[in-house]
């Protein structure tokens, strides 16, 4: 896939730019849900406000713990610096809550100013966040890519009419066929964008 025409790159946060070691099975255990339950989607269906609040607090505690542990993925920081120097616009779209996202950005000094969290727009795979960035930057979606590590990221990009890049890890290889492009290390992403 040719990436030289790309003017803006939108990144996912957890599992893509940073490893926050979020333990989703432990989150499900603490809530009392089966492993693999989609958290935000299932939470949206909880009618009882007390139960909803209990679940939100558990998710919040896990996300803040993850933000305090978060560390850069190999080569991600250098990749961002390279793209900034080349004049490529960067943005961040995450299903995380704003407080955890801001904590991660501040702790690791992540140089991205355009940020949307689940409090700012409909959560992925809804394309609202990506379409918001396209409108804000006045760019056609064809000149943007979304980089993430999970099926939701690929679906979000597809729903927005944008190309998807999958950052490969040991757990997500089976999604690669659905992404427009995939890479193992961030130096491959910067090389492809600046070729």
Phi-psi region of 134 (alpha: psi -120 to 50; beta: other; left: phi over 0): alpha
pLDDT tens per residue, range 133-143: 999 999 999 99
Cβ atoms of 113 and 140 within 8 Å: the answer is: no
Chain center to CA of 61: 19
The reported pLDDT for the residue numbered 92 is 98
CA distance 181 to 191: 13
Which H/E stretch holds residue 166? strand 163-167
CA distance 179 to 158: 9
Work out whether strand 89-93 and strand 8-11 pair parallel, antiparallel, or are unpaired. Answer: parallel
The reported pLDDT for the residue numbered 22 is 87
**Structural domains in the chain?**
8-19+72-193 (3.40.50.1000), 24-69 (no CATH)
* Residue 107 clears pLDDT 80, i.e. is over it: yes
Average pLDDT, the chain: 96
Residues 107-126 have a mean pLDDT of 96
Residues 32-44 have a mean pLDDT of 94
- Reference 107, options 24, 21, 20, 187; nearest CA is 20
The reported pLDDT for the residue numbered 2 is 74
- Reference 46, options 60, 32, 25; nearest CA is 32
The reported pLDDT for the residue numbered 3 is 81
Residue with structure tokens 């919040």?
A: 60
pLDDT tens per residue, range 150-173: 999 999 999 999 999 999 999 999
CA distance 142 to 157: 11
CA distance 163 to 159: 10
The reported pLDDT for the residue numbered 195 is 83
């Amino acid at each position: 896939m040719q990436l030289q025409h790309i003017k803006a790159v939108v990144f996912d946060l957890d599992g893509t730019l940073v490893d926050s070691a979020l333990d989703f099975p432990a989150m499900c255990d603490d809530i009392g849900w089966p492993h693999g339950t989609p958290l935000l989607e299932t939470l949206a269906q909880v009618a009882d406000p007390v139960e909803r609040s209990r679940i939100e607090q558990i998710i919040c505690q896990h996300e803040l713990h993850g933000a305090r542990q978060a560390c850069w993925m190999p080569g991600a920081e250098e990749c961002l610096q390279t793209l900034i120097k080349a004049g490529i616009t960067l943005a961040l779209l995450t299903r995380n809550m704003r407080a955890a996202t801001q904590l991660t950005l501040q702790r690791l000094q992540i140089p991205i100013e355009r940020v949307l969290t689940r409090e700012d727009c409909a959560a992925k795979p809804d394309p609202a966040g990506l379409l918001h960035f396209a409108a804000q930057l006045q760019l056609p979606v064809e000149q943007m890519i979304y980089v993430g590590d999970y099926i939701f990221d690929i679906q979000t990009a597809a729903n927005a009419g944008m190309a998807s890049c999958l950052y490969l890890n040991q757990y997500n290889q089976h999604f690669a066929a659905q992404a427009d492009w995939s890479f193992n290390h961030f130096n491959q992403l910067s090389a492809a964008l600046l070729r």
